[in-house]
Amino acid sequence: MSNAPDGGPSAAAALTHLRPDGSLTMVDVGGKATTERYAHARALVRLPPPAAQALREATLRKGDALAAAQIAGILAAKNTAGLIPLAHPLPLAAVDVAFSWSQACVLQIDARARTAAQTGVEMEAMVAAGVAALTIYDMTKSLGKDITIEAVRLLEKRGGKSGRWHAADFVAD
């Protein structure tokens, strides 16, 4: 391992997906134990009042946006390895995408993923939440272009060497 001028590890040595010659590699997880893995991610979609109302009342011209976003999120989770470079394909046991309103015009999208594997499902949950949010945007954009997708973030993960983690401002389920 090479060292930086300050005596610590060099940037290249600290990066898990970077070879010494600068090329990229997928991390080898073959030696890791297969354990139960779980992740919960959330995205927020802030909508103008007419779009929020149409979404709540299921009166969008494009159809049932929540059903479309739910399917899009699940499909996205299943295809994460094809979307995120160097991500491992995982045998997903379950993916769930659910919706609630955190404010009158803020749709909360919660995505949960579960597997038994050698690496975690954080990316799958985050991709599911993000793609579901993008689908909501696509299906409501005719009612206002000032829709924003906010705070796509990991809230909780379980399993693997690092065990359980949750965001400091999140009460785990």
What are the structural domains of the chain?
28-158 (3.30.70.640)
Report the percentage of the chain scoring pLDDT > 90: 68
pLDDT category at 72 given cuts 50, 70, 90 is: very high
> 2 pLDDT exceeds 50?
no
Q: What are φ and ψ of residue 161, in 5° steps?
A: -60, -35
Q: Angle, to 10 degrees, between the axis of helix 122-140 and the axis of helix 49-57?
A: 100
DSSP symbols for 105-130: TEEEEEEEEEEEESS--HHHHHHHHH
Q: Shortest CA distance to 97 belongs to which of 115, 75, 118? A: 75
pLDDT category at 28 given cuts 50, 70, 90 is: low
pLDDT category at 80 given cuts 50, 70, 90 is: very high
Query: How many Å apart are CA 158 and CA 20, to the nearest integer?
Result: 32
Characterize 52-77 residue by residue with b for buried, 16 or more Cβ atoms within 10 angstroms of its Cβ, and e for exposed. bebbeeeebeeeebbebbbebbbebb
Average pLDDT, the chain: 88
Task: Look at residue 11 in the predicted model and tell me its pLDDT.
Answer: 47
Q: Which helix or strand (DSSP H or E) is residue 154 part of?
A: strand 148-158
Query: How many Å apart are CA 28 and CA 18, to the nearest integer?
Result: 12
165: which residues sit within 8 A by CB, 6+ positions away? 156, 157, 158
> 9 pLDDT exceeds 50?
no
pTM comes to 0.85
The residue that leads in pLDDT, 26 or 51, is 51
Catalytic residues: 138
